[in-house]
Structure 1
Amino acid sequence: MGKENFAGSAWVGLDIPYSCVHPKVLAEPKFQDYNSPKMGENVETMRVIAKSTLRQFWEQPAYRDAQGPLESGYEEALRSAWTSPQAVKSQYGSASICGNHRVVFNISGNKYRLVVEMQYRAGIAWVKFIGTHAQYDPINVERVNDY
């Protein structure tokens, strides 16, 4: 069997036998930069990835009090059309705008922190971290990718 180098895809530089790659991986679309100026700017609502991540957090006995604020924040995000960090900041004045397209939201009176990667042009808010303030302190907001 030959080898596939995946030129032009997110798998660039891999030199592995074609037969070792799952067909589903081969069918994946090429990497898309959702913050590219080529993406459309007509975002009507946000897509949050993923509610299940938030649910896993609030279903832990120690964090049950986060359910209400996380659910209401999730619903607000679905109804929002954030196209820039300024749009987020105008709705959530206490949100911190960070590098690498990250926004930090204070949840339950700053008891919890939610780190989200915003892909404004695509209308996507991607949960990267949720935890207590103490769990948040040692992380690198621009690199964290817990989910």
Structure 2
Amino acid sequence: MTADDATHVVAQGTFDLLHPGHVHYLRDAAAMGDRLTVIVARRENVTHKETPVLPNRQRRDVVAAIDAVDDARVGHPADIFAPIEELDPDVIALGHDQHHDEAAIEDELARRGVDCEVRRSGAREPEYEGELLSTGRIIDRILEERG
């Protein structure tokens, strides 16, 4: 298989305090193709929830350490679609609970001339009582137990 034949998948997210839900999302995204690039949101661009605790580079480095990930990078400072235009993926994989509107993403991709499919990964349920699959819940637990 040549690089031109490989299905390139892009996943994106904040990935603050990496947890099993993130690993599931990235493995699911990797299974959608042959190569997975992950775009880690810049702290300054995260407006839909609390600002990440960890710095951009640290979150990128931890994501890059996951076996399913072929490449990880920090997102563009001003235009979240700029890396997508540069990478020209075949698939954009969204997390099952990410806030993104698939139709709006597809419209913006079409406007920019990027031909790729938008898919959602499947959900991962906790495997045992007390397993935390949310950065917010992890932070809350830390504050409860050690705050």
Q: Structure 2 length as normaliser, TM-score?
A: 0.22
Larger radius of gyration: 1
Of the two structures, which has the highest relative contact order with CA contacts closer than 8 Å and spacing of 6 or more? 2
